[in-house]
Each structure stands twice: as C-alpha cells, then as structure tokens.
Structure 1
C-alpha cells in the first residue's frame, strides 16, 4: 500500500516515540523510510550593530545543525536497520517547518507522512500552534498522526 514513508523528528521525546512507531508501521507495510529533521534558518543578530565574536558564523551554524539533525535521525536509522528497512536521512533548513515537510514529501515521492502530536487540544493547541495541523492543512498526501496518550519518560 505505502512504498515510502516520511517520518519527521524534532528530537523531542514525543517525536522519538513517534519515529519508533513510524518505523514499526513502515515494517508492517514493507515500506522504505525517509527520516527528516527540519532545522530553523540561520538568524543574524539584529539587536547589535556588529556581530559579537562568540556568535556563530552562518557556516558554523549550518554545520552544527547538521550534526544535531544527524544525532536525532540516528535512532530512526538504527531502528530501521534493526527492522531490515531501507532508511534515508535528510536534514533541511526552514522557518516554515510544516511547509518544508510537505515539500520534501512531494519532492521525494513519499506515499505517507507519519508525524506525531502532543495530544493538546482546545486553547493549548491554538496558543502553541501545531506543525501537525499545518501539515494536515498544507498537503494532499495521506498523513498518519501518531498521538501519545500519556507522557513518555526519557
């Protein structure tokens, strides 16, 4: 049914549990996995006239975020390998995370987006915003939302 499943992570405990569930789902479907970490774009300091010496350069920032992304994606890669699934990892940069997730799913030919939800509702969801809700409203691709019913423990 699904041949390629996009699994997103932001490195949080919720997304780690979601990613693990996503890999198990991919295994059941016999699908390959595309694991995605979206990092924010580099921000120049706008509050000072000159850049402080300790402030990272654009290149340093991108390299550091690629390392952070690779660390977060490693658990998906390891879980996929233990399930004998092909897994590709990808670190992207965008301040519009939901749109980037949708774009990657389209560009890479994914059949399904597997994404987590903190399970907030009502005002908590409205005030905090939700990447998951934005993905649901910005893509025509199927989206499977994995919701944790209780708080996970690290």
Structure 2
C-alpha cells in the first residue's frame, strides 16, 4: 500500500520509540524509510554589536546540527537495516518544522508521514504536539500519528 514512509524524529526518547514503531510499520508494508530530523535555522546574536569569537559561525553551526541529525536518525536506519528495509536519513534546516516535514515528504516522493503525537517531554512536548497538529492540517499526504501508551523512563 505505501512505498515510501517519512518518519520524523527529534532525537528524544519518545521520538526514538515512535521511530522504531514506524520502522515496524514500514516492514509490514515493505516500504522504504526516509528518516527526517529538522534542525532550527542559524540565529545571529541580535543582542550585541560584535559577534564574540566563541560564538559558532553559520557553517560551524550547520556542521554541528548535521552531526546531531545523524546521531538522531542513525539508530532508525540501523533498525531498518536489521529488517532489510531501504532507509535514508536527512537533516533539514527550518524554523517551521511542520512545514519542512511536509515539504520534504513531497519532494522525496513519500506517500505517508509517520510521526509521534508528542516528542520531547515537559514544555517541549507541547511544542512538538503542535508540530504534529500543523503537519496534520497542512499535509495533503496521509499522516499516521503514533501515540505511546507508556512514557519512557527519564534518562
């Protein structure tokens, strides 16, 4: 039914469990997997006139975020490989993660977006819940929202 599934992750424990559920779902569908981490855009410090030498350049920031993205989606790629699924990971940059998730899914030819109802815990959980709602309201593709029955233990 589905040939390519985008699994959105933020690297949190909840998101990792959701991503594993997404890989299991992809296995049932025999679908390829695209794992996406959306990093925030680089922000110049606006509160000072001179950028301090310790502040990362835009290129240093992008390199660091790409490394973070790999660390977030590599375990999902490994899980997909253990199930003999084709899988790719992407780190994208945007201050509007929901829009970027929808955009990447369309650009990459995905036919389903798989994401959690919430990601980070605490205040971040509210934020990511709103990301899920925005994806649901803006996507023309089907969106499967996975809800964990039990929260993972704090790390």
TM range (shorter): over 0.9
What does residue 137 of structure 2 align with?
137
- Secondary structure of the corresponding residue to residue 130 of structure 1: helix
What does residue 48 of structure 2 align with?
48
Residues in 2 aligned to 1:45 and 1:145: alpha-carbon distance in whole angstroms: 36
What does residue 71 of structure 2 align with?
71
Structure 2 unmatched runs, 5+: none
What does residue 115 of structure 2 align with?
115
What does residue 3 of structure 2 align with?
3
- Secondary structure of the corresponding residue to residue 62 of structure 2: helix
Q: How much has 1:53 moved relative to structure 2?
A: 1.1
2:147 is the alignment partner of 1:147: yes
What does residue 102 of structure 2 align with?
102
Q: What is the TM-score normalised by the length of structure 2?
A: 0.92
**Would you identify which runs of 4 or more consecutive aligned residues in structure 1 move more than 4 Å?**
none
Q: How much has 1:117 moved relative to structure 2?
A: 1.2
- Secondary structure of the corresponding residue to residue 151 of structure 2: coil
Residues in 2 aligned to 1:20 and 1:44: alpha-carbon distance in whole angstroms: 35
- Secondary structure of the corresponding residue to residue 55 of structure 2: coil
Residues in 2 aligned to 1:10 and 1:118: alpha-carbon distance in whole angstroms: 10
- Secondary structure of the corresponding residue to residue 92 of structure 2: strand
Residues in 2 aligned to 1:118 and 1:108: alpha-carbon distance in whole angstroms: 24
- Secondary structure of the corresponding residue to residue 14 of structure 2: helix
Q: How much has 1:118 moved relative to structure 2?
A: 2.6
- Secondary structure of the corresponding residue to residue 7 of structure 1: strand
Q: What is the TM-score normalised by the length of structure 1?
A: 0.92
Aligned CA-pair RMSD? 1.7
Residue 118 of structure 2 contacts residue 132 of structure 2 at CA under 8 Å; is this kept in 1? Answer: no
Q: Number of aligned pairs?
A: 149
